[in-house]
Chains A and B, each alone.
Chain A
Amino acid sequence: MAEELPSVEKVSISGATLASLLQRFASSHGDVDGLLFGHLSPLPPPPTHDDDDPPIPSPSSSSSAAAAAASITGLFVSGSPMSFYDPLGRVDLPTLCLSAASAGASAASVVGWFSARRRSPLRPSMRELAVSLSLSQAPALALPADGSPPRDPRPCVFLLLSSSATANLAVHTHEYRAFVLRPDPSGGSLVPRSLDVINVGPAFRAQYGSFSPESPLPWMPHRPRGAEEKEGDGRGKRGESLSRQRSAAREQRMLDAVTEGFGVERLEKLVGPAAVEYTSQLEDLYGKMLLKLESLARQVEKSSARVLEQENRNLLMRSKLAGLE
């Protein structure tokens, strides 16, 4: 059953993702858990020396336990504990898919999960092991590792976080540890792996060099120059469906609203040799950009204040419900 399972040798996480995870944990009132998104990539086979790492004995071939690296690129923080699994640690697939969807990711890109609990030992708990096991055996989540067909037991990365603070709150300690599920005859165990934090800096230049964007861009219909004038009579000629045209027009309107008068034609003038004459226009452009940024910042500020307010209200209600007040 587990012969084809690649053994995850390296786990990496982008600095921003880790920072966001730590921040979510630090600002939460209690324990936090959630899903980790990312991808697996095969590692080149190790040089031919005996590895001290004892792989699962498999009858087929020695290369079956191919090494892989897991990269964590995103996360979903569930609002309440045990949202996508039950007290026995059994993963509830529909909830998991919903959770993933609400984070804008597909359930297929789930590489594992995390659990953050304050002032507790940095060892996987009974339920955490069970959840990891259940997640790796969940059938519906096909993991596009290298274009291979979906496997049944899949690798599962588990990130365990713990934090503590001194009595006067002067020193906060954040600890984290990454684990990888290793199946064995008695089910599976979580073995610790070091966690590489991908960050800005010379050590990660290669990573940036090899970067290829993977996030989906909205589909934009190709418009040849001058298409706008012909739009009116293009309908009958090309025989496009009405709805498609409508949606294209809607997208164009949205795009126009965002550009605020700085259409493609105008921008073209700004970069050509005649740009010198348009200095004032360029300043205008920057001015508008700055204004937009400021209003965005204000919006963010207001909404976070509202979020905080709501969170405090939730906390109060929850305490009342639990009979704490």
Chain B
Amino acid sequence: MAAADPSLPPQIAAQLNYLLSHSPLPFKVDQIWSGCKNGRFSDRFSLLVPFCLDFVKWDVIYNALFPAAAPDFVFAPDDDGFRPLGGGGKGGGAPAENSSSSLCDWNCRDPARLLAVVHELRDSYAQYQKKRVEELDDARLKFEISTILSREGIEVCVVSPPDRPAEVKFAVPLLDLDFDKLVREYPWKHQQKIFLQVVYPVSRSYSSIPSAPRIKLVSTSDLKALFSIEDVKLPPWLDGMCMAEYLPTVEDNLKVQVVEAVASIGQRRRFIEALSPLFGRPLEADPVFCRKATVLAISGVFTFLIHFSIPIQFPKQQPILTLQSSQHFNSQGTPILSPPINDYPWSPRWDPAKMVERIFDFLVDECLNFKKYCNDAIPQQQ
């Protein structure tokens, strides 16, 4: 998500930058180019709009010579049914007035305007996709939609790849957890959520038993430091099940794990705090998720750093240690690092002070090995 191209006229650049930095959704810019004859100023870009756990590509077309004019949008080729301005407009040649009202009184000096328009368009796009799914002749999908679509934040879309039968994708936001409150210290850039992605094949025959959907958990990228979505085991989907039955079990399951993950931050923090009596104050520590800490250690005249990498399942899994010499450098001039160490004595039931004490004891011997390792690795000079 780079900042807008410098050759965009300032007003357009301001709007694009505002969109990229202020939207709760992770918009991306794919490409920026010029539509002018001399090509000096850029005035069009393709915007990747996050929708239904994927991106749709819209071309945004400005006019560099008239940067005050409102932008226009060209949608993806297979979305030609999406007509946010032309839908159902009847009397007097006035297209749907309710949509894109931010376009109506366009003000190029207001950098928030593009964001408002894009959000409005994205909302109409969600409506358009919902309508497409509702029009499908599939009994199970009709049932799912009638029972589940009232859920807040749910998104659906029809996926019709050219070489495969059409499918319908549901993106169901799970848990009403506010990560902003759970992890207060972290300035979350975008809205953090965990989604259940459910992909149904569209079946037109009523007689055959519909096959089970493909299910997957997806989390927004910033959550990965807190919680590993891959480690969650989903309950099996039973024949004849519907989403309304399935979701509560998933959510209960997930809630326990998220709460554990948040609690694990506290345990990691206590571990890092316990480092200082023996190792001295850490040089560096991750204050939010407490996943990393580095301390300086001395053995005789040998000075080295100890990097602690603390896993998400912390007390169950022990931290991974890496030693880094302050005195030995390889031929490229970078400090020599030890291989990751995690075969030291460990018990999740120890209290943090005991954990640190055992690591300290272990390192008293291990650092001598590391020193030898460094001396061997150092390039033979003269």
Contact = CB atoms under 8 A, between A and B. Distances in A.
Given A90-B95, A126-B74, A323-B9, A30 B66 contact: yes
B58 to A, nearest CB: 9
Residue among B61, B68, B81 facing the most chain A CB atoms (10 A cut-off): B61
B11 interface: yes
A30 B74 contact: no
B207 interface: no
B341 interface: no
Contact of A88 (B68, B74, B85): B85
Nearest to A29: B37
Interface in B42-95: 43-44, 59, 61, 63-70, 72-75, 77, 80-81, 83-89, 92-95
B298 to A, nearest CB: 59
Contact of A134 (B33, B74, B75, B93): B93
Contact of A86 (B33, B104, B121): B104
Interface string B114-136: 00000001000000000000000
A127 B154 CA distance: 28
A118 B104 contact: no
Interface string A174-214: 00000000000111110000000000000000000000000
Contact of A324 (B41, B95, B121): B41
A323 B14 CA distance: 12
A137 interface: yes
Interface residues of A, number: 44
Residue among A138, A139, A186, A189 facing the most chain B CB atoms (10 A cut-off): A186
B95 to A, nearest CB: 5
A126 B36 contact: no
Nearest to B33: A119
Interface residues of B, number: 46
Q: Is the interface of A mostly helix, strand, loop or mixed?
A: loop
A126 B83 contact: yes
B346 to A, nearest CB: 59
Contacts of B11: 322-323
B104 A123 contact: no
Given A120-B59, A123-B80, A133-B95, A318 B74 contact: no
Residue among B44, B65, B75, B86 facing the most chain A CB atoms (10 A cut-off): B86
A87 to B, nearest CB: 4
Contacts of B73: 125-127
A30 B104 contact: no
A28 interface: yes
B106 interface: yes
A118 B34 CA distance: 8
26 contacts: A29-B36, A30-B35, A30-B63, A31-B35, A82-B70, A87-B70, A88-B100, A89-B85, A123-B75, A124-B74, A125-B74, A126-B72, A126-B83, A126-B85, A126-B86, A128-B72, A129-B83, A129-B86, A130-B95, A134-B94, A136-B93, A139-B93, A186-B87, A187-B95, A322-B66, A323-B9
> Which 8 residue pairs across A and B have the least CB separation, nearest first?
A87-B70, A130-B85, A134-B93, A137-B93, A30-B65, A118-B35, A187-B86, A87-B103
Interface of B: 9-11, 33-38, 41, 43-44, 59, 61, 63-70, 72-75, 77, 80-81, 83-89, 92-95, 97, 100, 103-104, 106, 121
